[in-house]
Amino acid sequence: MRPPSQPDPSPSAAAPAFQRIKDYVLQQIQSGQWQQGQAIPSEAALAKQFGVARMTVNRALRELSDDQTLTRVQGSGTFVAQHKYQSTLVQLRNIADEIAARGHLHRGELQRLERCKAEPALMHEFKLELPHTLFHSVVVHYENDLPIQLEDRYVNPAVAPDYLSQDFASQTPNAYLMRVAPLQGVEFSIEAGMPSAEMAELLRMEAQEPCLVLRRRTHSQGQVASVSALWHPASRYQFTGSF
């Protein structure tokens, strides 16, 4: 392992100690100083380097482990995580690319683009401890003029500060976020759900028709970047994949 560089005291000196440690670890990884699968300095070494208690270092490394940036192995140490999520993300492409691959036309209709207060459930999703403002967008995606997805997305302003000024008729929120906030990890689930009356109308659905709902949480820059619910009329959409 290369000798550890000293933490940069200037831009983040006012940040909490655990955040400065997280920023330092991310800087080492992104600069290539620490490679995938490589062990990083011990908690004791980082505590000495930053002049903090080990519990502060433990919090920083635990949060980076939760974000899949690091992997902690009992009795062996902490390592830079391998990018295991990439094969899964291939199956969860930008919907505009999926539609184009089928030889069809995509368009998006923006229904809502706003700043909002994070309610308790969203604070939990974004791992926030203090009141926070989020960006919120609702876009209906069409394939050959038939609506096939309603995208309800909340975004962390810290990773995409210009989100509200984007034209989501010409690009999808997914494409924009992939450009400005490269993924470090993703969590998702798929379930059946009944849409609200407003959603059903926007998706031109029959009464009592269920949706397939893809719920996805993405991570970038060491924090939760976005939380989205993607609603698809069950009669018009299916998820496929292979291993």
Residues 10-42 have pLDDT tens digits of 445 568 899 999 999 999 988 888 987 788 999
Q: Is residue 3 part of a domain?
A: no
3-state per-residue secondary structure call for 43-101 = HHHHHHHHCCCHHHHHHHHHHHHHCCCEEEECCCEEEECCCCCHHHHHCCCCHHHHHHH
Domain residues for the domain of 161 are 86-233
> In this structure, are 145 and 92 located in the same domain?
yes
Domain end position, chosen among 62, 80, 98: 80
Under 8 Å between Cβ of 130 and 117: no
pLDDT in tens, 47-72: 999 999 999 999 999 999 887 788 88
Q: Is residue 9 part of a domain?
A: no
Structure tokens at 48: 């000495």
> In this structure, are 52 and 93 located in the same domain?
no
pLDDT in tens, 148-195: 999 999 999 999 999 999 999 889 999 999 999 888 888 888 899 999
pTM confidence score: 0.64
Task: Indicate the pLDDT class of residue 199, thresholds 50, 70 and 90.
Answer: very high
> In this structure, are 74 and 22 located in the same domain?
yes
Q: Report the share of the chain in percent with pLDDT over 70.
A: 88
Q: Is residue 204 part of a domain?
A: yes
Q: Is residue 118 part of a domain?
A: yes
